Structure 1
Amino acid sequence: MAIERIRVLRRATGVGSGLQRAQSFLILATLLYRGSHLTVGVLAVAQHRQDHPAQYLGLAAALGLSLLLYGAALTRGWFDPRHVWADVLVTGCLLPLALYAWGGVRETPALGWAMLLGGSASGVVSVALPRLQALTALALLVGTHLIGYHLVGASRAVLGGHVNSLLSSAVMTWVFWWYLRRQGRLLDEANARALAAETQKARYAERLQHHRALHDTVLATLTTLAAGGIDANAPEVRERCAKEAAYLRRLIQQTADEVHHPEMGAALEEAVSSVESLQLKVTAQYHELPAVPPEVAAAFADAAREALNNVRRHAGTGHAYLTAVGAGGPGGCDGTERSADGSDGDLGGPRGAVVTVVDRGPGFDPERVTPGLGLRRSVHGRMAEVGGRATVDSAPGEGVRVELRWPG
């Protein structure tokens, strides 16, 4: 059913909301930023003070906290404030001072890599912590920069540049986050509108499907009974009425999607039996019917039923002929020839089928008669929906021939 397809689509599109996408992107961006700073740290430790193990321990601590912070963020979808604070206090504040106290760092270049980590920490702080906590963490990072660079005798230019970098990282990350959230909300709203429109369209299509089914079954039965041409108490008429009452009951209870669509031969036979219960004799012949999808079998059966109903209502004859054959195999009606060794040619895909409904009534002039609702929707429309087509051939005095073909 159409509504069920919408539900399946909702479950299948597990791509997350716009906000979730924005969060994932920002986590990845700040991770790359931190990775660039850690790379500088590895190179710096390898070149300066290799005889001081405290620098290697400091670098290991920074790597460990980075793995904890970003690993948890990638797993949970966003930063854990506890991990952010641990990164700020250890990596951003304690590490530079520990390197000065125990790592033998007395020069600005040797301390610079640790200060760089404060810049990537400030970016996460600006988006992951509440405003007051974020301002407090930034103040701690700025204070660490001022103290650390003062201890190693850095110039004011170096100090000003690093503080500016720290604050700029926080501001730019916050701006990016604001923009991404805004775009995420717009995307979610657009998706919600599109889904609502698709749901509305699906509901309309489902109503149309039910209307066509009612036209082909219940309305056809009531029209025949009202015309008085059959005995309403006949067992076959009562059986048909009972089946259609059960269908109406399912429709009212919103369980019409439980209707079973049998394979093609059984589906056509069910349609023929349904019309024969209204005292129309049908001569049916089936030849090498292929396996088709359930929706195609249902379309063939429903379209054939409506064509037979039209025979009973309009042809002025009590006899119709239905033929169903496979298309593309021996005896098929698509013109496919057999190869020299007697095998079928390359069909290029699954076999199709052709169903014809013929009557020997008075016929009509197609140029003067406008097709009715049943012919347009229940015959042409049903076949078109499954990739097939229906053609109607008639002339005055020549009867009517309806051909249903799939694929079209």
Structure 2
Amino acid sequence: MRVGSGLQRAQSFMVLATGLYRVSHLVVGILAVAQHQRDSVLSWLGLTAAVASSLSVFGVARSRGWFGARPPLVDLVLVGCVLPFVVYAGGADRPSDIGWSMLLGGSASAVCAVALRRGAAVAGAVTALVVTHIAGYAMAGAEIAVIAAHLNALVSSAVLARVFWWYLRRQGRLLDAATEQAVAAEAARARYAERMAHHRALHDTVLATLTAIASGRADAGTAAVRERCGREAAYLRRLVQQQAEDDGIAPGTAAAVEHAVRSVESLGLRVTAQYGAPAEIPAHAAAALGSAVTEALNNVLRHAGTGRAYVTVTGSAGGVVVTVVDRGSGFDPLTVDKGMGLRSSIGERMREAGGAAEVDSAPGEGTCVALRWPA
């Protein structure tokens, strides 16, 4: 389940709602014991146990995002079924004195109604509470009307909590489905836009070159035409490779890196690019990667003393790793001026986007620039 999904929001709301419901009952219990049973040790112990059980149930729910399987059942037994008898044994032998402990059964039934998956389990929990509270009120000599009103509130708490949880869960799943459809549609539009960009590029480069050669306007034997054909052949190989990956690479990442490669190839640098299948990343991160790759390739062109570079795009845990490698002259990273592109333009750009850049080089051994998102 994705963080921030509709289903998770529904769960967070139910944890909050049932938690506030329990808090309201605990406040009543604290006031009742403080005013009328301050001398009853068992009442204070029972109230302390109820608070501890509440912290356990809702603390687990808060940390995990939902109720655990065991804490609600322990709360049901301790707060819902045992607490009334403990309070009665401490001297609360009138309906008005034992009422606060009975009230906590309502929030216990609400928690069970949303935490337990099976309807039979919820029915069993509510039945246990009903039997316990009938017995407790009977011991305290409560009238039938008081018992009936309390049982109605007890059962209503479970029913309403169950209905609310069903509705919110359904709405959360519908929201998640709609979000997934929107993301898929956006990805499809991005892929279509990328294909159209490739079609235009093919028209302006490969097709134009072939047409010029076929019509005799360009001599295929000249060095300039051969160099152009080599660059365009490399572009075609990358395009075929991307299609073979069944669109597994994130469109934004592919477009950004490909734009960087082609922009530097137009200046005479030959680039061999390999594309893997990383996860989709945000647009700002893809843009930062593309700019960093452009700067890294420009550095190869300006400083490496070689006419070839290698770019590899792979996936990491929920992100992307792009490496730019050359076999040129290399350098000592410790002696490089901090104002140069490797440290400022590349490193700062990646950090601002939430990524990282690492440079590995040595004199005579070439250079490897690794770009990661996220860091």
Task: Give the TM-score, by structure 1 length.
Answer: 0.60
Q: For each residue in 1:212-249, what CA deviation from the matched residue of structure 2 results, as whole angstroms up to 9, or x when unmatched?
A: 22122111211211220121110111011011101111
2:96 corresponding residue in structure 1:
109
1:19-98 equivalences in 2 (<5 Å) = 19-98=7-86
1:18 corresponding residue in structure 2:
6
Is 1:121 matched up with 2:120? no
Q: CA RMSD in A?
A: 2.5
Distance 1:259 1:202 in 2: 15
Name the aligned partner's letter for residue 116 of structure 1: L
Is 1:155 matched up with 2:154? no
Distance 2:17 2:51 in 1: 17
Distance 2:112 2:172 in 1: 21
Question: Which of 179, 202, 209 is the equivalent residue of 1:221?
Answer: 209
1:208-357 equivalences in 2 (<5 Å) = 208-254=196-242, 257=255, 258-259=257-258, 261=260, 267=263, 271=266
Q: For each residue in 1:334-358, what CA deviation from the matched residue of structure 2 results, as whole angstroms up to 9, or x when unmatched?
A: xxxxxxxxxxxxxxxxxxxxxxxxx
Distance 1:188 1:223 in 2: 50
Distance 1:272 1:82 in 2: 67
Name the aligned partner's letter for residue 69 of structure 1: V
Distance 2:265 2:62 in 1: 56
Query: Which ranges in structure 1 are unaligned for 5 or more consecutive residues?
Result: 1-12, 275-291, 299-408
Distance 1:211 1:222 in 2: 15
1:383 corresponding residue in structure 2:
none
Give the share of equivalent positions with the same residue, in percent: 55
2:174 corresponding residue in structure 1:
186
2:165 corresponding residue in structure 1:
177
Equivalent pairs, count: 263
Distance 2:229 2:161 in 1: 70
Distance 1:96 1:14 in 2: 41
Is 1:146 matched up with 2:134? yes
- The 1:270–1:82 alpha-carbon spacing in structure 2 relative to 1, beyond 3 Å, is closer
Distance 1:97 1:81 in 2: 25
Distance 2:237 2:265 in 1: 20
Query: C-alpha displacement at 1:81, in angstroms?
Result: 2.2
Query: C-alpha displacement at 1:197, in angstroms?
Result: 1.2
Distance 1:261 1:128 in 2: 52
Query: Which protein is bigger by CA-based radius of gyration?
Result: 1
Distance 1:227 1:273 in 2: 25
Structure 1 segments of 4 or more deviating over 6 A? 292-295
Q: Per the alignment, in what secondary structure is the counterpart of residue 219 of structure 2? A: coil
Q: Per the alignment, in what secondary structure is the counterpart of residue 260 of structure 2? A: coil
Q: Per the alignment, in what secondary structure is the counterpart of residue 205 of structure 2? A: helix
Distance 1:170 1:270 in 2: 68
Query: C-alpha displacement at 1:14, in angstroms?
Result: 5.9
Checking the alignment, whether the CA contact within 8 Å between 2:231 and 2:265 is kept in structure 1 is no
Distance 2:268 2:125 in 1: 80
Q: Per the alignment, in what secondary structure is the counterpart of residue 50 of structure 1? A: coil
Query: Which ranges in structure 2 are unaligned for 5 or more consecutive residues?
Result: 243-248, 270-286, 295-375
Distance 2:197 2:131 in 1: 71
Q: For each residue in 1:62-97, what CA deviation from the matched residue of structure 2 results, as whole angstroms up to 9, or x when unmatched?
A: 011111111111111221221111001000010000
Question: Which of 181, 184, 196 is the equivalent residue of 1:196?
Answer: 184
Query: C-alpha displacement at 1:184, in angstroms?
Result: 1.4
Distance 1:179 1:49 in 2: 41
Q: Per the alignment, in what secondary structure is the counterpart of residue 64 of structure 1? A: helix
Distance 1:125 1:250 in 2: 57
Query: C-alpha displacement at 1:117, in angstroms?
Result: 0.7
Distance 1:18 1:143 in 2: 37
1:369 corresponding residue in structure 2:
none
Distance 2:229 2:148 in 1: 90
Checking the alignment, whether the CA contact within 8 Å between 2:69 and 2:115 is kept in structure 1 is yes
